Amino acid sequence: MSKMKKESDHSYLYFTKWALILSVFWLLLSGMYNLLLLSFGAVSVIVVLFVLIRMESADKKRQEIGTGIRLLRYIPWLMGQILKSSIHVTKLIWGSPNNVSPTLAKIDASNVPSNRRVLYANSITLTPGTLSVDLKDGELTVHALQKSSVKELEEGYMENKITGIWGKANDGDL
């Protein structure tokens, strides 16, 4: 039996088992067996199987292991940024409403390696007063409570921290 055939049989058996388990689980939890609920159950099982198929393909991609030391360098810095910006946002909210200047801006993230751009976007979102709205083609759309927060991001301090730990994007990442 060829390797492709074995993988195909394994995938078929794997997804058949999941379909059966999910269907039985749905039936046991439902306790009602009318056509509407059974069709909802079938649709939900199909959706979950679709997600499983997508997860399987993502699991087969090569994953980087061993970011422990890098993460230990990054997390304390990020916690400090979160604390600092939390104090800033608290002062902003308790202060005059004139100090709030909501803004939406696009931030260039092309220097950040493609496999770290989500980390960059999530780091922006974790710091109070800023929210990453979209990440597309090396460009982040960010919402901020104050224009000065966007200016700080445009200056690239957070981007430099990430690229300092994980390296800059090379031509293959762009």
Q: pLDDT tens, 8-52?
A: 556 788 888 989 999 998 888 888 889 998 999 999 999 999 998
Position 70 scores a pLDDT of: 77
Position 43 scores a pLDDT of: 94
Separation of CA 151 from chain center: 24
Give yes or no for residue 2 having a pLDDT over 60.
no
To the nearest 10 degrees (0 to 180), the angle between helices 117-126 and 157-166 is: 140
Residues 165, 119: contact at Cβ < 8 Å? no
Phi then psi dihedrals of residue 105, to 5 deg: -145, 160
Res. 173 pLDDT band, cuts 50 70 90: very low
Question: Each residue of 76-124: pLDDT tens digit?
Answer: 888 998 898 889 888 888 888 788 889 999 999 988 888 888 888 988 9
Position 44 scores a pLDDT of: 93
Q: What CA–CA distance (Å, rounded) separates 26 from 49? A: 14
Give yes or no for residue 68 having a pLDDT over 60.
yes
Give yes or no for residue 126 having a pLDDT over 80.
yes
Position 133 scores a pLDDT of: 93
Q: What CA–CA distance (Å, rounded) separates 139 from 110? A: 7
Q: What CA–CA distance (Å, rounded) separates 103 from 40? A: 42
Residues 111, 103: contact at Cβ < 8 Å? no
Residue scoring higher pLDDT (58 or 123): 123
Q: Judge if pTM exceeds 0.95.
A: no
